[in-house]
Amino acid sequence: MQLKFIKLSFLVLFSFTLQFSFPIKAQEIYDQQIEAILSKMTLEEKVGQFVQIVGVDDYNEELIRMGKAGSVLFGNDGPEEVNRIQQIAVEESRLGIPLIFATDVIHGCQTIFPIPLAEASSWNPELVKIASGIASFEAASQGIRWTFAPMVDIARDPRWGRIMEGFGEDPYLSSIFASVKVKGFQGEDLTDKTQIAACSKHYVAYGSAEGGRDYNSVDISERTLREVYLPPFHSAVKNNVASIMSAFNDLNGVPASANYFTLTEILRKEWNWDGVVVSDWNSVGELLNHGFAKNKEEAAFLGFTAGVNIDMVGDTIVGNVYSPNLKNLVEQGKIPLEKIDYAVRNVLKMKFKLGLFENPYVDIKFFEQNDLKKNYKDSIALQLAKESIVLLKNENNILPLNKNIKSIALIGPLADNQEDLLASWAAFGKEENVTTILQGLKNISGDDTDINYAKGCNINDEDTSGYEDAVEIAKLCDVVILIVGEDREMSGEAASKTNLDLPKVQEELIKRIYSTGKPVVVVLMNGRPLTINWISENIPAVVEAWFLGDQAGNAVAEVLFGDYNPSGKLPVSFPRSTGQIPIYYYQKSTGRQYNEEDKFTSKYLDSPNSPLYPFGYGLSYTSFNYKNIRVDRTKIYKTDSLTVSIDVTNTGKFKGEEVVQLYIQDEVASVTRPVKQLKGFQKINLKPGETITVNFNITHDMLSFLGKELTEIVEPGKFNVMIGGNSVHLSITSFEVIE
Ligand code: BGC
C-alpha cells in the first residue's frame, strides 16, 4: 500500500514537472521519494541495497523477497527471466524496491566491437560513442541496465593482460575515450529505457600493478596518481558516470577498496561526485588476504567507511562481507546510521535515475518493435574495426594487394578462427557471428583469385605437423598472408605474462614460410603489444589488427585489399623486449639525457631506449607531409590562449585519413615535466594532393600542471609545441608565457 502511494505521488509530480525545467525538478522529486522510502526501511533492508548477488537461485530469490539484495550480477538469461526476478523484488518484497541487473558489457553486448585497446587505436571517439550506444541498447533489451565499463586504467606495462580492456598508456587519450564511452552507454537521460548506467573501473591505479602481475600491489607517488592514473576517472565523473568500481590492488599500503583518501577525499570531496561505488569481485572481502582486516566485520567496516557502497558478490559463500556485518556495526555504534543512509541514498538515486521505480520491467515489445537494424549495427562494427587496424610496416608498398592477384596463401591459427576473435569480455557475443579472415577475404577478393588456406599450427602448443602443408601452399601462391597472435584467454583478467613473444610454434611457422622467399604479410591478432623484433626486421608488411570482434574478417580484408586505407595509430608503445618495460612516450628527460655517444647517459647497454613502435604511430597507404608549423602569438599571458597551425598535405596516391597529434612540453618548471604530453588530436581526411591547415587552440588548462603543492598552476617560461603523425616525428615551434 505504502509503495503504491509512493508510486502515485511520483507520477503526479513527474507529469506536472515535465512542463517545466525537468532535470532540477526531477532531482528534487528523487530526493523527496528517496527520503520517503528511506524513512520506511529497516536497517536490514538498507544494508540489502548494498548487497550485489551473483545470479539467481532459490536462496537468492529468498534474499530478494526479504529485501536483502539490491542488485544482481547476471548472465544472459534473457529479458523474461529478468522480469520474473524483478517481479519478486517489486511485488513480493515489503517495499518493492526494484533491482538493478548488471553485466560486463565491455566491447559490445550481442554485437561485438573491437576490444577497447583497439577502439583507442581508431582515435575516433565519436564512432566509439556510437558503438557504446548500440551496446547499451542491446544490453537494455536484455534487462541489463548497468555495465561495469569503461575500464579506464592507464596501462604502461603490456605484461599486464588487462591492458586490452583499456585505452592504453596516455592519460589524455584515455580521458577522451572515458568520456565518450560514458556518454554512449548513458545517453542524455538515463531514464531512457535504452540506456544503461556506466561504471568506471578499477579505481585506482590498478594498471600499475608491480611487475605487470595482475592483482599485485601498487606503490606510486601522489603526483603520479594525480597526473597519470586519476585523469580518466575524473573525465568520467565530469561526464556524470553513474558508478565507479573500487579496485583489487593495494595502493601505497592501503588497499584501493578501503582507501578513504581516494574513495572519499578525492571522489566525494574534491570531485563532488554523488554516484555509487561498487567493489570489485569480493575486493572488500579480500582485505583479509591483504592483511589489512582481521575478519569480515573489520573488512566491512574499513571498506564501507572508506566509501565502498555496494559489495559485489555480497551474499554468497565467497563474499558475505557487508551482510550481516554492517548491521552489527551500526548496532554496536561503530558506524553511524547517517553513513548508511548516505550510501542508501546513492543506490536509490541510481535506481531513480534509471527510471526503475517507474518502469522496473524490460519493455520486451518495445525492443522487438524498435530493434536496431542488423545492417546498421554491422556497419558501425565494421567501420570501427577498420579504423582500429594499425599498419606497422609496409616495405616497398607490398600492401594493398592487387584485387587481380592470382593466388593467396592464407596461413595461421587465427585465419579461420571465430572464437578467439571475440576476445575476452565478449558479453553475449557469439562465435558464429564472427566473420573469419578467410571468409572476409573471400567476400571481397576478385573472382579469379584463388585463396588457399592452411592452419599451419595451433595458437600455443608444440604440434608442428601442419608446417609442411602450409609451406607447400605458400610455395604455390603469389603472396602469403599469415594470421598469427594470441588466443582470447591470453589477455584479459588474470592473464599476465613475462614473455611477450609470439608462442614459439607460431614464430617457427612464420620463419619457415618466410624462407620460401614468397612475399609475406603478417597480420597480428592480440590483446597487448607483443615483442616482434624478428617479424619487424624481416617481414615486409606487418598489420596490427588486435581483436576486432564480429566484423574482423571483413575489416582485415578491406585493409589488405586497399578498400579501406588504414588510419589507426597505436595508443600504447610496443617494446623491443620485456626488459624495457614500463615503456611509454611520456618520459621525464632525466639529468643524463640519452646520448648515443656517451656511455654515462640514461640508457641500456644492450638495447636502444626507444620502443620498436612508438605511441601514436601507424602508417597509411598514402603519405602525409607536415609543413609550416606556426603560432599566431609568440608571447601570451597565463590566462590567454593562442592558436597553433600546421599544413598537412597528402603526398601519396591514395585518399586517406590522418590523426594529427598535438604535444606540448613545458621546457623548464618548478617540478620536472615530461618531454612531451599529448594535448589534442584531429582525425582528418585528405584526397591525394590535398592540403588542409589544422588549427589547435591552446588554452590555459593545456599549459597547467600540478605544482609542488599538487595544485594546478601555469608557470611563465618557454613552451614547445609539437605536431605530427606520431609521438616521435614532430614539427616543433614554441611560445612564451609571461606573467
Ligand atoms: C573484474 C571486474 C568485473 C567483475 C565482474 C572482476 O573479476 O575484475 O572488472 O567487472 O569481475 O564481472
For each successive 10 residues of the chain (739 residues), what is the average pLDDT?
33 33 63 96 98 95 96 92 98 98 98 98 98 98 98 98 98 98 97 98 98 98 98 98 98 98 98 98 97 98 98 84 95 98 97 97 97 97 98 98 95 98 98 98 93 98 98 98 98 98 98 98 98 98 98 98 98 98 97 96 96 98 98 96 98 98 98 98 98 98 98 98 98 97
User: How far is 315 from 323, CA to CA, in rounded Å?
Assistant: 7
pLDDT at 583: 97
Q: Tell me how far the alpha carbon of residue 669 lies from the centroid of ligand 1, in angstroms.
A: 40
Any atom of ligand 1 within 6 Å of the Cβ of 201: yes
Any atom of ligand 1 within 6 Å of the Cβ of 351: no
For helices 171-186 and 125-141, angle between their N-to-C axes, nearest 10 degrees: 40
Burial class (CB in 10 A: 0-12, 13-18, 19+), 671: middle
Q: Tell me how far the alpha carbon of residue 544 lies from the centroid of ligand 1, in angstroms.
A: 27
Any atom of ligand 1 within 6 Å of the Cβ of 206: no
Taking the C-alpha atoms of 551, 553, 554 and 555 in order, what is their torsion angle to the nearest 10 degrees?
80
> Do residues 485 and 152 touch, judged by C-beta distance below 8 A?
no
| β-strand pairing of 717-724 with 656-666 | antiparallel
Burial 183-198 (b: 16+ CB within 10 A, else e): bbbbbeebbebbbbbb
Residue 571 preceded by cis peptide, ω within 30: no
Apex CA 117: angle with CA 523 and CA 383, to 5°?
Answer: 70
The secondary structure element, H or E, covering residue 482 is strand 479-485
pLDDT at 6: 34
Q: Residue 691: which residues within 8 A CB-CB, separation 6 or more?
A: 647, 648, 649, 650
Taking the C-alpha atoms of 542, 548, 551 and 555 in order, what is their torsion angle to the nearest 10 degrees?
-20
User: How far is 92 from 100, CA to CA, in rounded Å?
Assistant: 16
User: How far is 324 from 460, CA to CA, in rounded Å?
Assistant: 46
What does the block give as the cell for 272? Answer: 563532488
Phi then psi dihedrals of residue 723, to 5 deg: -135, 140
pLDDT at 318: 75
| DSSP 8-state class, residue 19 | T
Three-class DSSP category at 490: coil
pLDDT at 21: 36
pLDDT at 24: 55
Any atom of ligand 1 within 6 Å of the Cβ of 280: yes
Q: Residue 338: which residues within 8 A CB-CB, separation 6 or more?
A: none
Three-class DSSP category at 236: helix
User: How far is 244 from 599, CA to CA, in rounded Å?
Assistant: 47
pLDDT at 13: 35
Q: Is 58 a catalytic residue?
A: no
The secondary structure element, H or E, covering residue 182 is helix 171-186
Three-class DSSP category at 342: helix
Nearest atom, ligand 1, residue 201 CA: 9
In 114-195, the DSSP E strands lie at 146-147
Write down the pTM of the prediction: 0.95
Any atom of ligand 1 within 6 Å of the Cβ of 148: yes
| β-strand pairing of 71-73 with 51-54 | parallel
Q: Tell me how far the alpha carbon of residue 280 lies from the centroid of ligand 1, in angstroms.
A: 6
Three-class DSSP category at 292: coil
User: How far is 624 from 234, CA to CA, in rounded Å?
Assistant: 35
